[in-house]
Amino acid sequence: MTTFRLDPDDLPRSAGELYDRVRAGAELPTVTTEAVRLLASSGGGAVDPDVFDAAELLAFVLAVVGAEASLPASALTEPVPDAERRLRVEEAVRRLVGHRS
């Protein structure tokens, strides 16, 4: 089993990559102390401590990825290609963490 690490300096892109992996059958990672430490110590300032605790942010990102990945295509009112669903994950995470394109 390969370990997946979110890039704390580009959480939206990393979340999109994780979405692809989960849709392809990989397991959604869980929040670990090590993952929270890495995110909190990011040199890119991924976590604004006035807004988020690193553990909360990681949980939110994983929740967005997990929710979209587990949503069956048949539940959508119109067909949405996986590439578009990945972009939706990235945009949701971008909004969550306040990244700007």
pLDDT tens for 54-94 read: 888 889 999 999 999 999 989 999 999 999 999 999 999 98
| pTM assigned to the model | 0.84
Asked whether the CA dihedral 52, 19, 15, 12 is positive or negative, the reply is negative
Q: Are 29 and 4 in contact (CB under 8 A)?
A: yes
Report the percentage of the chain scoring pLDDT > 90. Answer: 47
In sequence order, what E strands does the chain have? Answer: none
Burial class for 99, CB neighbours closer than 10 Å (0-12, 13-18, 19+): middle
